[in-house]
Structures are given as C-alpha cells and as structure tokens.
Amino acid sequence: MTDAGKLSEEAAKPLLKLASTTPVLEVIRQISQAHSSFALVMDEAGKLVGIFTERDLVRSVAMDEALEQMQINQVMSPAVITINAAQAGDAIAVLDYFQRYEIRHLPVVDGNGQVQSVLTAKEVRSMLGPNDMLRLRQVEEVMSRQVIHVPPSLKLDRVAQVMSVHRVSCVVVVSAESLEQEVSTQSPRALMPIGILTERDIVQMFALEVDLGATSAEAVMSAPLMPIERHTSLWEAHLQMQQYRVRRLVVLGRQGELVGLVTQTSILRSLDPLELVRQIDAMQGAIDRSTQQLQAEVTARQQQAAELQLLHKKLQIANQELSALAYADGLTQVANRRSSIDPSPRNGSGCDGEGQYGFGALRCRSFQGL
C-alpha cells in the first residue's frame, strides 16, 4: 500500500534553502520563481532553524507588517517538526505526523540532522496509493461545507485577512448576484462560484509588487473552476487533483451552486492510520493464504509430473519387452517355415519312405549300405 520510492523521487528535487538573514522580499521572489509553497531557513552552520510558507506570508500581509524592512527570521515558523529518513518511507508514520501536528510540510532529515527532502500532503497521498478507504468513501463525507467565500470586488489585502482569520489556504469567489439574493428558510441562498483564490496567488502578486489594496479578487482568481460532484469517490477526487495539478476542488450541486470544498488535507484527514494498518494486515493475510495455496498447487503438480515421468519409464520398458517378444516370435516363425519346406512322412529310421528319391532317401541308402 505504501511506496517508499516516492520519497526518493522527492529527495531528488532541489530544495529552496535560504539564510535566516535573507530579506523577506527576496524570499518571496525566490519562492514565486521556484513555484514552491515554502522555503527552508538555515543558520550559518547549515542547520535547519525554521520554515517560511505561503501561509506565513498571508498572515504577515493580513497583519499589515512592513515586510519590505524585515528579514525572514522575523516572520518564519521557528518550531519545525521533522521526521527521520528511516520513518519517512512508511506512509502510515508520515500520515500520523501530519494529523498529529496539523502540519502541511514535513522535512525529512538524516542521522546528522541534515534535510534531505520535504514531504507535503501531495507526496503523502501519492505514497498511500488507491486503498479501499478512498475508493469506498465519497467526497461529501469529508468536504468542508462551511466554505469561506468572498465577493469578486474584495481587494487582495482584505482577502489575505479573511484567509488568516479563518486559517484557510483558499477562498471561493462567488458572483455578486448570488450574494444579493434574498434569504429565507424555504429558499436558502444558492451561492454561485465563479473562481477560486489561493495563498499562492497572494504570494505571486506580492512578488510582482502588485498593490494588494487596489487589486480585486476577480482580477487574479483562477477560473473556470475544476468542479467535482459530492458523490464522487475520494480516489477520483485525488486523481482529478493530480490531473489538473491543483490542491483543492470546488464541490458543486445540481444547479451549479456551491455545496462544499475538498482539499488534499481533508482527504488525508479522512484516513485513519489504525484503519490503514488493519487493511495492510488483512492484505498481508490474504497474500499469505494465496501463497500457501500456490505452494500446495505447485507441490501437487510436481507430484503429478513425477508420476507421469514414472509412467513414461514403465511404458518404455513395456515397449522394449514387446519389441523383444516380437523379435523372438519372428525367429520362431522363420524356424517353423524352414522345417515345413519338405512335409513327406519319415520311417522309423528317420529315412524317407520307399519310392522316394529325395536327398533324405539317398542319404539313408548310403548309410545302410555301409
């Protein structure tokens, strides 16, 4: 069920490592250019001392901090949860880390504390593979029903504040018309989504030095949406995320209205490590039983092959004996044919009867005359 090979693939990817004194604007520029969601912060000795993520930037923007005058060590997350390389190959252990510490980035370190790679929700989901829990469960079971949404005219600095307050990685942009609908208990408001805005969008706009206070959500939102239906399996949702290279999907109703949001994080949260362990044990038991059955079939076939070989040898011996008998019978027939060449009766002396002048008669007369 797990695939340790995925870890080696991630380890091959270059990591963005920056000194703790690097200006925040330079960090944001490099993150944007690398299309990364984080940067590792290192001290002078090359030791990991912090991590700076897209969420850290959104929080700083929301707090209206003077990022132009700050270094990365002033806004980074200093308490970094790490996992050693020996454990990182076990998807169950990695999943437990993500759920226990509620993190989205997990650096993998060797025995000397050196960072080898960084695992994200995307890599963990790929390591787990198509297990039954994802095939049998549907999107509506894990999707967020209280979706944070904003009007298309809201400015990006305000959007960053909304994300920070609600601790979300994205907001759904809904049409102004649907927000202006009258709401009643008989006819609840049907929000019509027209786009989505993520933390990465904020990072890119900041890196481009766009005035966040003068730019609307509608101007930079991703559209059209990559929607999904609520009855779709979680495995299909994951495949769609891989296909479209996104980390979240908007869940729409029959009329195209907003009903929920499913993310890679929500998919991971739906997986119980203990249940995964039970699945692995059950699969291992099934494999063991199949192996035993296969070994029994192989043994039976080997016995059959040995019996057939023995029967073949017996048939060879029988054929040889029959050939010998046939040869002996042939010799007997030849002898009989020779003895039947002169069928005349003989007297008691062994000579031919009187009046017969064959060779035998001449021979008898010759002996008798002696």
Contact between 124 and 3 under an 8 Å Cβ cutoff? The reply is: no
Cα gap 7→4, rounded to integer Å: 5
Q: Where are the beta strands (DSSP E) in the chain?
A: 17-19, 38-42, 48-53, 83-84, 105-109, 115-120, 149-150, 170-174, 193-198, 227-229, 248-252, 258-263
Cα gap 68→155, rounded to integer Å: 20
The length of the chain is 370
- CATH architecture, domain defined by 1-127: Roll (3.10)
Whole-angstrom CA distances from 240 to 54, 95, 184, 271, 308 are 23, 21, 35, 18, 56
Place of tokens 């998807």: 91
Q: Is the pTM of this model over 0.75?
A: no
Whole-angstrom CA distances from 9 to 75, 133, 333 are 30, 25, 85
pLDDT value at residue 274: 55
Which residue(s) pair with 50 in the sheet?
Answer: 41
Cα gap 363→39, rounded to integer Å: 129
- CATH architecture, domain defined by 130-180+188-271: Roll (3.10)
Block means of pLDDT (10 residues each) for the chain, length 370 residues? 49 82 94 93 93 93 88 93 90 85 92 91 73 78 93 96 94 89 53 95 93 96 92 92 92 94 87 60 60 78 85 84 75 65 52 47 46
Question: Which part of the chain has CATH 3.10.580.10?
Answer: 1-127, 130-180+188-271
pLDDT value at residue 355: 47
Contact between 56 and 27 under an 8 Å Cβ cutoff? The reply is: no
- DSSP letters for 126-144: HHH-S-HHHHHSBGGGTSB
Cα gap 295→335, rounded to integer Å: 60
What one-character DSSP code corresponds to residue 256?
S
